[in-house]
Chain A
Amino acid sequence: MQFDQLLQYTLSGLSTGAIYALIGIGFSIIYNATGIINFAQGEFVMLGGMLTLFFLEALKLPLWAAIPCAVAASTVAGLLFERLAIRPLRQPTPINLVIITIGGSILIRGLSMLLWGKDTHAIPPFSGDDPIAIGGATILPQHLWILAITVIIVAANRFYFYHTISGKAMRACAYNRRAAGLVGIDVRRMVLFSFIISSAMGSIAGIIVAPLTMTAYDVGVMLGLKGFCAAIIGGMSSGLATVVGGLLLGVLESLGAGLISSGYKDAIAFIILLLILFIRPQGLFGKAESERV
């Protein structure tokens, strides 16, 4: 095994891992505010990529304008999803919530297929595609964009949860919804916020990864599930634990694909998911260390 190759796999694994981390944090934010695992999370990732493409090609916007528009549009979709599907639910048992978010994800996927067809599309990279050499490995500028944007979002997230009133209110909801309501926090609004934040984050993840992996109406399923794996490894924390979970998953997957077999690449993620769920359902780092917001 060449060191160069190992480095190459690790580097590309880190950037996919960053994407999983962003999606995973989206899962955790909604889970902590509401107790719901949003099976439609991956669809917002897909919407990010597909809407960027739509704004680029149909409306001829430049890339820097198309991206914020796509994030805004996906966020509106997340907001509508909460208002129209989650809030009106009369019997919010876990099984009903699983079924309704699955229904929602199929609906979003189906509508996207109708609107944009089944083809796979590429988004232009943000700043060219001249490879950069690091050690014996090469990476693309887009990898750096992914890592940088992930760092910014994770930092912004932390600032929001620890230094703003609304972020603190959301943490209060995560600890105890009824108590949060008693001290005057509008819990339903916080639930809505959690959907807004996580659909925005999901769509950003979808946009920054699209230049590397292409995008299509059905990319949300796998990305969403991998993001969930990251969140499970991180013990459903919306902080660093999930980021570590995502990076770990990305690197393991990339190494597994390179060293064992690329056909089983996706299976690796799910085997890790099952193992963690069976052995350490509280996440790899245990509850004490992970922040549950």
Chain B
Amino acid sequence: MQNIYLAATSFSPEVNFDFAAHRLALKGECYPENAAVFFEPIMNALHNYLAQQQRSHITVDVQLAYFNSASTKAILAIFERLNAAAVAGNYVTVNWHSDPDDDTIMEFGQEVADDNGALDVHLLELA
């Protein structure tokens, strides 16, 4: 399974999906012109990886400083897919990092946790 690494740009996050290590990370800004175009290959790779997992321990680190409205549903879809993998018997830990004064990002993490009960979501404040 090919890992995915995309370096951060001004408008897109660093994507580091180390499938071999079962560690997935998203970090940075997220306001691509077309969120569907940006997320489609990431989502496809994630789907192919998760389809092969059984009882795997998967850790997801999310540290997004900002994401635009067009990216919100794509980001939610990632967690829905992870939740399905957790329901299917994998152990998925999500570390959702946000600035202590950033209610928007923190509340979005709470939404992710509320909607996806099979995920072990930790809402963490950045120092």
A and B, one complex? no
Instruction: Enumerate chain A interface residues (CB-CB to B < 8 A).
Output: none
